[in-house]
Amino acid sequence: MLQKPMRRKLISMFVSLTLLLAIVGAALLLMSLTSRQPGSVGASEERLSECPQSPNCVCSQSASPEHQIAPLSLTVEPTGAIARIADIVRSMPRTTIVRQTDTYLHAEFRSRLFRFPDDVEFLIDADAKVIHVRSASRIGHSDLGVNRARVEEIRRQL
C-alpha cells in the first residue's frame, strides 16, 4: 500500500496529465473546426494546384516524385465519371461534396478523431482519357499516407 504523500503525488500527476491531454485535445479540435478551405483548391487552366512541400498531399499532375500518384482512368463519358466518383465519395465516411460540375469535383473528408479536413479534387482530361486527382490535408505536416490510400481506395471502387 502506498503512503499518503506518495498517493497524493500520483493523484496530482494523474490529474495534471488528464488536464494537459484535455487541453491539447480541445486545441486540436478547435484547429480542425476553424480551418478554412485553402486558396490552392480548384482547377486553373486545366490543372490542379501543385502540392505543398509537406508530405501530406498527392497529385496526379505533380512534378514532385514524392507527391506523384497515377491519374484515374476515364472509361466512360466525363459526366458519368464525375457522377460515379461523387457516388463513391458520398459512400465514404465523414465526407461532403463541396463543388461538382461536369468535369470537376471537390470533396472534403474529415478525420475520425479530431475532424481534420482534407480536400480531394478530381478533374477530367477527356483528351488524355484520364481523371486527374489531388488529395491534400489542410492541417499538419504528415498524413501517415492517408491521402494516397484514399485515392487508391477510390481507384479500386471506380
Residues 36-91: tens digit of each pLDDT: 555 566 776 789 999 999 999 999 999 999 999 999 999 998 889 999 999 999 99
- Give percent above pLDDT 90 in the chain: 61
pTM of the predicted model, to two decimals?
0.76
The 10s digit of each residue's pLDDT in 126-135 is 999 999 999 9
* Average of per-residue pLDDT across 16-41: 56
Is a pLDDT exceeding 60 seen at residue 108? yes
Burial class (CB in 10 A: 0-12, 13-18, 19+), 65: exposed
Joined together, the cell numbers standing for residue 78 give 466525363
Yes or no: is domain 51-158 CATH 1.20.1250.20? no
Is a pLDDT exceeding 70 seen at residue 26? no
Using CA atoms, how far apart are residues 9 and 5, in angstroms rounded to an integer? 6
The per-residue pLDDT of the chain, averaged, comes to 86
What are the backbone angles phi and psi of residue 73, rounded to the nearest 5°? Answer: -80, 140
Is a pLDDT exceeding 50 seen at residue 32? no
- AA identity, residue 149: A
